[in-house]
């Protein structure tokens, strides 16, 4: 079958995206293929691509066609809806968002066999009720579908709702005209909430139903959401990256772009005049460097870097029971050469609110890219050191960590939130060692009394992640938290909370590194060296002589006899499993 692959190019940031997509398709697409770039009209509204862009498209053998916007200039995504109606004699149209890269061989006939194909949306971004969806289908004289689909990232069940970044359809069924008409009609419906910017995706399944087309779901690899998941989570063919900063954080994408630039001088010229030049060019150059410890690249290796497995980054996580040395451990790590430890980054909370917290490996990738680019990042600092006791100094500031190699060790720390997501973190960032800090319950709970109110009061209902209403916790965890919230005795509440957090660690101990505060303070060099050795690659523990032993602090003197009795009664067995006697 002959396939027309169509995508938009217009003046501005989309120019570089469009030529990168075209070059990647020329390299990897297999089958009878006609590449068409659609230029929106009128040009006074959308602008004219630069001469360098047109030369690049011409060199790549891309046909240029004009397209209109059937919704209106206030809805730029409508340019893509208009491009679906591109003139063609092909049997099939593959409509792509311009912010996509083809990374591997794309068999057009094998991947897009069917009357209509699209991937269920990553997230349920149009969260309309069944009543709203039902009215929309009724508006077009269609029965409501019985079928439901699952959002591929958030795993929410939803009415048929698809990502419109990759849509394939057979020609001749009238889909482009039906899609444009559905968009216009739905856009005019006053009772449909939050139609934009996802109007195209709301209208797509209804237009397919009007044309009698059943949508076959595409697999993730044919519309991979790199803005929401790391490439390590899949083997994408069509990588939907959305924004240039996503390209910068993924070494595979940088090497793929570098390879395309090397093949096409015209593409290099577009990159040079792009607004993304300063963001991407230095990162592309860094991606060409072999790892410090790897020496020369293997002969015959794929120059794009996309075919083989990417070595995991030197990432690590720090968590543990609050007031058990987690910040002290961050300070020790940060004092080593080419190790960076970010104490309680604010970005962890939205990431951990999802069933699969892909935002944590993405946070690490973003931080690594920004640090290598010399950009300022946020951390809890006191002078030039990471704060080692947040009860004394708990202020964030920005700075530029100094690193001497690309594969520096990068750690992030959070106590309660990371503990609540230990099983999920093991799924999404399996290469990262996780240090879980513990401390004798007398001293940990004694410290709670004079540090933070949520610890002093064991106020679990206020935890942003890991509270009794958290739907992602296990039944036993929620039962323990409910018992804490229902307890009227503050001493018992604190003891129950320590026990709950210790159990979260013990339940996952087979793949954690449990760090006892007392051991860490008495011999920080040995503990930290052992932990850094668990990183996948990286520079190792350099500068351990800066980590001097000291005497562990004790806070048990602050406890009342009622506190001690509650701890002995509640925590003795669990504390014993961690090596503590009461």
Q: Over the stretch 373-401, which tens digit does the pLDDT of each residue have?
A: 999 999 988 887 887 777 676 788 999 99
pLDDT of residue 105: 97
Q: Give the closest residue to 543 by CA, choosing from 333, 384, 403.
A: 333
434, two tokens: 């996780």
pLDDT tens, residue by residue, 334-359: 999 999 999 999 999 999 988 999 99
SS3 340: strand
Q: Is the pLDDT of residue 300 over 60?
A: no
Please report the domains of the chain, with CATH numbers, ordered by start residue. 2-231 (3.90.550), 315-577 (3.40.50)
- pLDDT tens digits, one per residue of 463-494: 999 999 999 999 999 999 999 999 999 999 99
Q: Is the dihedral of CA 304, 307, 313, 316 positive or negative?
A: positive
- The CA distance from 232 to 431, in Å, is 10
116 touches 64 (CB < 8 A): no
Percent of the chain with pLDDT strictly greater than 90:
90
* Backbone conformation region of residue 347, classed left if phi is above 0, alpha if psi is from -120 to 50, else beta: alpha
Higher-confidence position of 381 and 496 = 496
Asked if residues 178 and 254 have their Cβ atoms less than 8 Å apart, the reply is no
Per DSSP (E only), the strands in 423-511 are 434-438
Three-class DSSP category at 31: coil
Rg (CA), the chain: 27
368 compared with 297, residue with greater pLDDT: 368
For residues 114-123, average pLDDT: 97
Q: Which two tokens stand for residue 204?
A: 């797509």
Task: Please provide the DSSP assignment of 381-439 as one string.
Answer: EETTEE-S-TTT---EEEE----SSTT-EEEEE-SHHHHHTHHHHHHHSTTS-EEEEE-
At residue 295, the pLDDT reads 35
Give CA separation, 538 vs 316, 493, 534, in Å: 11, 42, 10
Is residue 542 scored above 90 in pLDDT? yes
Provide the pLDDT confidence category of residue 303 given band limits of 50, 70 and 90. low
Q: Which residues pair with 3 in a beta bridge?
A: 33, 92
pLDDT digits (tens, 9 = 90+) for 395-443: 889 999 999 999 999 999 999 999 999 999 999 999 999 999 999 999 9
- DSSP assignments along 85-117, one per residue: T----SSEEEEE-SSEEE-S-EEHHHHS-SSEE
């Amino acid at each position: 079958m002959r396939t027309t692959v169509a995508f938009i190019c217009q003046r501005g940031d989309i120019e570089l995206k469009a030529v990168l997509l075209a070059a990647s398709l020329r390299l990897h697409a297999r089958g009878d293929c006609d590449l068409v770039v659609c230029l929106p009209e009128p040009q006074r509204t959308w602008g004219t691509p630069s001469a360098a862009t047109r030369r690049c498209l011409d060199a790549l053998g891309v046909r240029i066609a004009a397209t209109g916007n059937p919704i209106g200039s206030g809805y730029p995504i409508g340019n893509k809806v208009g491009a679906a109606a591109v003139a063609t004699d092909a049997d099939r149209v593959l409509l792509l968002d311009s912010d996509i890269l083809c990374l591997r061989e794309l068999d057009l006939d094998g991947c897009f066999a069917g009357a209509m194909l699209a991937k269920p949306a990553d997230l349920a971004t149009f969260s309309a009720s069944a009543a709203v969806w039902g009215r929309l289908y009724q508006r077009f004289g269609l029965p409501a579908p019985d079928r439901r689909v699952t959002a591929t990232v958030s795993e929410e069940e939803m009415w048929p709702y698809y990502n419109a970044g990759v849509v394939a359809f057979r020609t001749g069924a009238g889909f482009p005209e039906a899609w444009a008409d559905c968009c216009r009609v739905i856009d005019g419906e006053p009772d449909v909430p939050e139609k934009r910017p996802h109007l195209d995706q709301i209208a797509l399944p209804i237009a397919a139903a009007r044309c009698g087309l059943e949508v076959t779901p595409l697999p993730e690899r044919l519309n991979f959401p790199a803005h929401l998941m790391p490439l390590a989570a899949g083997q994408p063919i069509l990588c939907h990256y959305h924004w240039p900063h996503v390209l910068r954080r993924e070494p595979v994408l940088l090497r793929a772009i570098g390879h395309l630039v090397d093949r096409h001088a015209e593409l290099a010229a577009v990159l040079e005049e792009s607004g993304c030049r300063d963001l991407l060019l230095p990162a592309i150059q860094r991606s060409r460097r072999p790892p410090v410890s790897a020496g020369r690249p293997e002969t015959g290796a794929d120059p794009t870097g996309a075919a083989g497995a990417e070595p995991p980054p030197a990432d690590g996580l720090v968590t543990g029971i609050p007031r058990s040395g987690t910040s002290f451990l961050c300070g020790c790590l940060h004092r080593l050469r080419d190790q960076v430890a970010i104490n309680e980054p604010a970005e962890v909370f939205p990431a951990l609110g999802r069933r699969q917290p892909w935002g944590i490996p993405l946070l690490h990738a973003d931080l690594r890219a920004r640090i290598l680019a010399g950009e300022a990042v946020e951390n809890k600092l006191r002078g030039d050191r990471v704060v080692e006791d947040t009860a004394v100094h708990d202020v964030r500031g920005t700075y530029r960590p100094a690193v001497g190699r690309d594969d520096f060790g990068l750690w992030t720390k959070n106590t309660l939130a990371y503990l609540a997501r230990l099983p999920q973190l093991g799924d999404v960032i399996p290469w990262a060692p996780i240090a879980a800090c513990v401390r004798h319950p007398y001293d940990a709970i004694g410290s709670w009394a004079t540090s933070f109110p949520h610890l002093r009061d064991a106020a679990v209902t206020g935890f942003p992640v890991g509270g009794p209403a958290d739907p992602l916790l296990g039944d036993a965890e929620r039962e323990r938290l409910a018992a804490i919230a229902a307890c009227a005795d503050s001493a018992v509440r604190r003891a129950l909370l320590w026990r709950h957090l210790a159990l979260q660690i013990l339940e996952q101990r087979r793949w954690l590194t449990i760090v006892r505060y007392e051991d860490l303070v008495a011999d920080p060099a040995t503990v930290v060296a052992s932990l850094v050795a668990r990183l996948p690659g990286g520079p190792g523990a350099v500068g351990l002589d800066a980590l001097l032993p000291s005497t562990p602090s004790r806070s048990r003197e602050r406890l009342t006899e009622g506190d001690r009795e509650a701890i002995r009664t509640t925590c003795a067995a669990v504390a014993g499993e961690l090596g503590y006697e009461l």
